[in-house]
Structure 1
């Protein structure tokens, strides 16, 4: 999976555009925590986003009494204010991001990752987010770039020399991906999953062979291999299914998008069969990732400057 794809997954909740308006009744009964050029953000809306961020991104229970929540509220409120400023500016400039543009961008990312549409949705589910959330993040990214195109004269340019210099200066710290190598088999029916699990557990067939022959999920052609994944980043039901599974073992069937799946964690012997490369990765293998990183840093710097100017000429009241 590309770095850009993982980035959007991690930040999708914060990147989603804030609601355009709020019901009058809600404004009356709920505390107003911010006003942006007359448009309001309520405490209820803010806490809903904080709750979603806490449970989906930070993978922990939402506790309003947690002292850290106040800091998180402030950070997310700033994002919501910026979202409204972006929406208002887009309306002023008549910038519209269509569903077709969003779908096209998602298709490009999916095809770049070699995933079918179904596999793409399954991968999002594995990461604990919905297609709608991901599309919302993509929409805001497109909007940001279009607004920059309107308002920022200079273009973002990344030279090959910059990419090579970054590689030379950071290659000793570049390491192979962390986490545990996870395998997944998705089947059509629960009884099929239970029967196949028995065959794998008894040694009649390997997990990888079973995935190639029977799985209808992502990574089937690679023996169900999803690559290295941090367990904390998995959807809660998958994380729980792997809780008592030893390396090389197979989990009990668990439902994912209504379909039963079997999971495994690669054993030490499996890891030895495909040893991690020694030393820094070759330049060619990380060149695109470095380019994207430098490009994004430059773009974000321009965007931050643009947003600061937008805030300076807006009427913003914070009451948190």
Structure 2
């Protein structure tokens, strides 16, 4: 049976129920109460468009309706003693764990220096060849038979091996493997549409995901680009967000590595494998990869 669908306004409110005696009650259903202070905190977390809706007469009526629903449902749940169930305790423990993790990350990431427009400008100036609207692209390719062969290619690329070296060793295309997979420059309209869409969406130095073409898998690399540079002002906002995301990801990876050293970590590989075998793959045995 599907859960009853409650309006979005209801679902995005935080579930805080404790109240102070000195705080004015806004909604009461049986012994359940929602105070003015709690409601103010709930509204603070709402997105701007929802706040604008609540400012209208229709929004006020909808809000009252949703608040009443919340309190009567909460009161009924208490009457049925659901708070004493093991399932409730399990969910609350999981909620507590996730909430504490989020609070920790929010607190720690505040110390991270913000990405400025100047940072983005400097990155742009140092990597101008990455911000070109291509007119022509130079491609290299590696042609393989199946996904297993493609996986071997990507594993070697990830390790830092030269694309041309891998092409000479593994590519099935005899015409281009000797030249390291190089197939030259192409303008729009000169390539198969499927390949062109990928080639002109990549930046210089980037490698494509495998494309199925004529019964084989093709992996392309953009080795050179001819075109016009994109003006910094056009991509400033997007670039700042990209640099911010990368900075946060780098910080997070370092932070996790430090915590692994700080806290003793133990994994029962046998128990984990048994659970996966039983729950996910129908009893078939799998062997976990060894950590390097």
Q: Tell me whether the two structures share a fold, i.e. TM-score over 0.5.
A: no
Name which structure has the greater RCO, CA cutoff 8 Å, separation 6+: 1
Which has the larger share of strand?
2
**Bigger Rg, structure 1 or 2:** 2
Q: TM-score, normalised by structure 1?
A: 0.30
Q: TM-score, normalised by structure 2?
A: 0.32
